[in-house]
Structure 1
Amino acid sequence: MTPFGLRLRALREAHGVSQAALAAALHVSPAYLSALEHGHRGRPSPGLIHQVNEYFGLIWDDAEEMARLARISHPRVVVDTSGLSPEATALANRLAQEIGRLRPEAIAALMRVLDGG
């Protein structure tokens, strides 16, 4: 599941809206919406993000948060390490191999390091 998919599902459930009903309102298929929520589809388009924001009445910070979540929700990331150090390339490859086995605490710790904390 992606950050955008998780938030979309939470909004949908908090408002008591089924996937089928939301898909119809957004003019997408229920299968696409399900794939988006489960992280099997790439980032949603800016137009779809706008539709979601309008449907749920999200404005200002909440609407910006949905756009931010969409930007960081591509489920198939490519890391280009050309021109970087051998250590950076090794790190990228190791992360690609191990990310599925990392515990949530380890992921949170890595995020803090990347955030400069």
Structure 2
Amino acid sequence: MTPFGARLRQLRRERGVTLRAMAAALQVSAPYLSALEHGKRGAPGPGLVHQVNEFFGLIWDEADELARLARLSHPRVVLDTAGLTPEATELANRLAATFRRLPPETVAELRAVLARAGPRG
């Protein structure tokens, strides 16, 4: 599941909206929305994010947060280390090789390190 998908599902459930009803309102298919929620589709475009914001009546900070989550919701990430140090390439390869086995606390630690390193998407 992607950050956008998790938030979309949370919004739907909090407001008691079915996947089918939301899909009809947004003029997309229910399977597409389901795929977004489960992280089986890529990050949604700005147009769909805007539609979701309007559908739920999200404004200001909530709308900005949903857009930020959409930008961070690519389920298949590619790291291009061309031109970087050998250490950076090694890190990217080790992360790719072990990522699915990282325990939640390690993921939290890595997120904290990245948060300290600079602004997020």
| TM-score scaled by length of structure 1 | 0.97
Per the alignment, residue 101 of structure 2 pairs with: 101
Separation in structure 2 between the aligned mates of residue 101 and residue 95 of structure 1, nearest angstrom: 10
Task: Describe the superposition over 1:50-88 as per-residue Cα deviations: whole angstroms up to 9, x where unpaired.
Answer: 000000000000000000000000111110000111111
Report matched runs for 1:11-50 at 5 Å: 11-50=11-50
3-state DSSP class of the match of 2:116? coil
Matched residue of 1:78: which SS? coil
Distance (whole Å) between structure 2 residues aligned to residue 45 and residue 81 of structure 1: 26
Alpha-carbon displacement from aligned partner over 1:2-34 (angstroms, at most 9, x marks no partner):
000000000000000111111111111011000
Q: CA-atom RMSD, angstroms?
A: 0.9
SS of aligned partner of 1:115 = helix
Matched, 1:114 2:114: yes
For structure 2, the residue ranges without an aligned partner over 5 or more in a row are none
Distance (whole Å) between structure 2 residues aligned to residue 17 and residue 116 of structure 1: 37
SS at match of 1:116: helix
AA matched with 1:84: L
Task: Give 1:111 shift.
Answer: 1.0
1:72 alignment partner AA:
L
Equivalences for residues 41-80 of structure 1 within 5 A: 41-80=41-80
| Fraction of identical pairs, as percent | 68
- SS state of the match for residue 11, structure 1? helix
- Aligned length, in residue pairs: 117
TM-score norm. by structure 2 comes to 0.94
Gap runs ≥5 in structure 1: none
